[in-house]
Amino acid sequence: MDVERTALPGIGLQHIMTTARGRQLGVISHRTGRRDLVVYDKEDPDSSIVTVALSADEASAIAELLGTGRVVEHLAELHRQVEGLVTQKIPITPGSPYDGHALAETRCRTRTGASIVAVVREGQVIASPRPDFVFNAGDVVVAVGTGEGTVAVTQILSNG
């Protein structure tokens, strides 16, 4: 990602950024503190199609919104690393050995150390399924454990 900086004599500065998808965005920083958010035409990158004038306060509010998301993602990533835990979604395919069988029969926790914490069935989340819960093809099992453990659960559910 590169940001191009150009001086606008008498006005201020122009910064233009090209995204990974090839779109161009610009910010014009006026000396007065005003900021213009500029979106460039996809087909003619020389032309701006939208220019939104922002006051200093509005600009920092937007900057905060754009910046906060990244901070949260970053924290989540950190959390994952610290815990060493992985959450995996595993579908029950029609050929699965446990299609029509109870959760207890998989003996997942004993064999892998990973736990099945939820099952998604027809868009609904069934949290903490009991040992007598019967799997159907099309269910999505949510397992939590170490990286190895969750991979092993995937193996068990598809191959037995």
Partner 1 sequence: MHSAVQLIELGAIILALGLLGAVSVRFSISPIPLYLIAGLAFGSGGILPLTDSEEFVSIGAEVGVILLLFTLGLEYTAPELVGTLRTSAPVGLADLVLNAAPGVAVALILGWGPVAAVAMGGITYVTSSGITAKVIGDLGWLGNKETPAILSILVFEDLVMAAYLPILTALLAGAGLLGGAAALGIAAATITVILFIALRHGTLVERFVSSPSEEVLLLKVLGLTLLVAGIAQQLQVSAAVGAFLVGIALSGPLAHTAQKLLAPLRDLFAAVFFVFFGLHTDPADLPPVLGIAALLAVTGVITKMGSGWIAARRAGVATTGRLRAGAALVPRGEFNIVIAGLAVSAGISASLGPLAAAYVLMLAVTGPVLARGIVPLAERLRLKRARHRGPQTDDAPLPATLTDNTAQDATTGP
Question: Which lies closer to partner 1 via its Cβ, residue 33 or residue 100?
Answer: 33
Question: Which residue reads 């969750």 in tokens?
Answer: 150
Q: What is the CA radius of gyration of the chain?
A: 26
67 touches partner 1 (CB under 8 A)? no
Q: How far is the CB of 97 from partner 1 (least distance, A)?
A: 22
Q: How far is the CB of 159 from partner 1 (least distance, A)?
A: 19
Q: How far is the CB of 22 from partner 1 (least distance, A)?
A: 7
Instruction: Report how far residue 108's alpha carbon sits from residue 49's, in angstroms, rounded to the nearest whole number.
Output: 56
Q: Are 18 and 26 in contact (CB under 8 A)?
A: no
Q: Are 128 and 117 in contact (CB under 8 A)?
A: yes
HEC letters along 123-147: CEEEECCCCCCECCCCCEEEEEECH
Q: Which stretch binds partner 1 (CB under 8 A): 21-29, 54-62, 106-114, 122-130?
A: 21-29
Question: Which lies closer to partner 1 via its Cβ, residue 40 or residue 135?
Answer: 40
107 touches partner 1 (CB under 8 A)? no
Q: Among 9, 84, 94, 95, which residue sits at the site for partner 1 (rule: CB under 8 A)?
A: 9
Q: Among 64, 74, 80, 93, which residue sits at the site for partner 1 (rule: CB under 8 A)?
A: 80
Length of the chain equals 160
Q: How far is the CB of 100 from partner 1 (least distance, A)?
A: 25
| DSSP secondary structure string for all residues of 10-25 | TTEEEEEEE-TTS-EE
87 touches partner 1 (CB under 8 A)? yes
Subset of 25-44 contacting partner 1 (CB under 8 A):
26, 28, 31-32, 36, 38-44
Instruction: Report how far residue 45's alpha carbon sits from residue 41's, in angstroms, rounded to the nearest whole number.
Output: 5
Residue count at the site for partner 1 (CB under 8 A)? 37
